[in-house]
């Protein structure tokens, strides 16, 4: 797969964001954390050379991102009354950075939605079982959890009329999606778990849908 010229930041609200809303707007019932962390906004930026440049890019756009997140949950009128610093922003959100991007639109800027392919814990258990014959790998995997596997997980940029269409798309193309996601974790195809049906795929991976992909370029 050709390396992407873009990377995607998924902005996941933290409990601090919920507390920030409650402190700034005591007369408004802040959404619960589960709701805030469902269908998080994704932001696209040109791929940077290192983490420092990525952070600098985020800082240059944080006001727009903060504005969007606040207005998304509180409405534009309420949002304009709230002021937040870059430090507030850093505390309010966890950043998930994804550079393995599969583009299924004619142009990246036309992509307004995406989904993220996330490994399940059963995949990690399978990996640990395979590594039992290799003591060096076993020691490494003992320090790995499923959140580590999800770091830089594959994102697929494609527009859908309805979010419900995503499941049908994945059912139709799960072999290709599986191949792309597994290739970032292991380049030895013969060691991959056997995936013969969509049910096999769904056992090892879950799909997170993001209906808002905002381009910051």
Percent of the chain with pLDDT over 90: 67
Does residue 80 share a domain with residue 19? yes
> 61: closest CA among 92, 31, 89, 40?
89
Range of 10's domain? 6-99
The band of 80, judged by pLDDT with boundaries at 50, 70 and 90, is low
Q: What is the pLDDT of residues 83-93, one digit of tens each?
A: 889 999 999 99
Contact between 169 and 104 (Cβ < 8 Å): no
- Which of these three, 49, 67, 99, is where a domain ends? 99
Contact between 65 and 88 (Cβ < 8 Å): no
Q: What is the pTM of this model?
A: 0.89
Contact between 217 and 8 (Cβ < 8 Å): no
User: Is the residue at 213 inside a domain?
Assistant: no
Contact between 114 and 155 (Cβ < 8 Å): yes
pLDDT of 139 > 70? The answer is no
> 127: closest CA among 185, 171, 59?
185
DSSP type of residue 190: G
Query: For residue 79, what pLDDT is reported?
Result: 63
Place of tokens 């995607």: 8
User: Is the residue at 165 inside a domain?
Assistant: yes
The band of 25, judged by pLDDT with boundaries at 50, 70 and 90, is confident
Query: For residue 144, what pLDDT is reported?
Result: 65
Q: How many helices (H) and strands (E) does the chain have?
A: 10, 8
Query: For residue 1, what pLDDT is reported?
Result: 55
Overall number of domains in the chain: 2
Query: For residue 2, what pLDDT is reported?
Result: 59
Sort 21 into a burial class: Cβ within 10 Å, 0-12 / 13-18 / 19+.
buried
- Which of these three, 69, 99, 129, is where a domain ends? 99
User: Is the residue at 136 inside a domain?
Assistant: yes
User: Is the residue at 143 inside a domain?
Assistant: yes
Does residue 166 share a domain with residue 138? yes
- Which of these three, 99, 130, 151, is where a domain ends? 99
- The number of beta carbons lying within 10 Å of the beta carbon of residue 175 is 12
Does residue 202 share a domain with residue 127? yes
Query: For residue 4, what pLDDT is reported?
Result: 78
Does residue 115 share a domain with residue 72? no
pLDDT of 114 > 90? The answer is yes
Query: For residue 127, what pLDDT is reported?
Result: 79
Does residue 77 share a domain with residue 162? no
Query: For residue 76, what pLDDT is reported?
Result: 78
Does residue 123 share a domain with residue 89? no
């Amino acid at each position: 797969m050709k390396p992407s010229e873009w990377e995607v930041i998924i902005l996941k609200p933290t409990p601090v964001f919920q507390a920030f809303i409650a402190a700034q707007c005591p007369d408004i019932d802040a959404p619960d954390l589960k709701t805030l962390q469902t269908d998080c906004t994704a932001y696209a930026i040109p791929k940077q050379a290192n983490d420092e440049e990525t952070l600098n890019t985020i800082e240059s756009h944080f006001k727009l991102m903060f504005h969007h997140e606040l207005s998304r949950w509180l409405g534009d009128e309420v949002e304009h009354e709230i002021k937040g610093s870059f430090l507030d922003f850093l505390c309010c959100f966890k950043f998930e950075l994804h550079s393995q991007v599969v583009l299924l639109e004619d142009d990246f800027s036309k992509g307004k939605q995406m989904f993220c392919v996330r490994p399940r814990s059963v995949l990690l258990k399978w990996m640990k079982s395979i590594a039992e014959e290799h003591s060096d790998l076993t020691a490494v995997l003992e320090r790995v959890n499923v959140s580590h596997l999800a770091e830089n997980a594959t994102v697929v940029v494609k527009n859908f009329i309805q979010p419900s269409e995503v499941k049908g798309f994945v059912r139709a193309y799960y072999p290709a999606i599986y191949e792309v996601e597994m290739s970032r974790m292991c380049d030895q195809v013969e060691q991959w778990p056997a995936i013969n049906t969509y049910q096999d795929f769904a056992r090892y991976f879950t799909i997170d849908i993001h209906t808002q992909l905002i381009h910051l370029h």
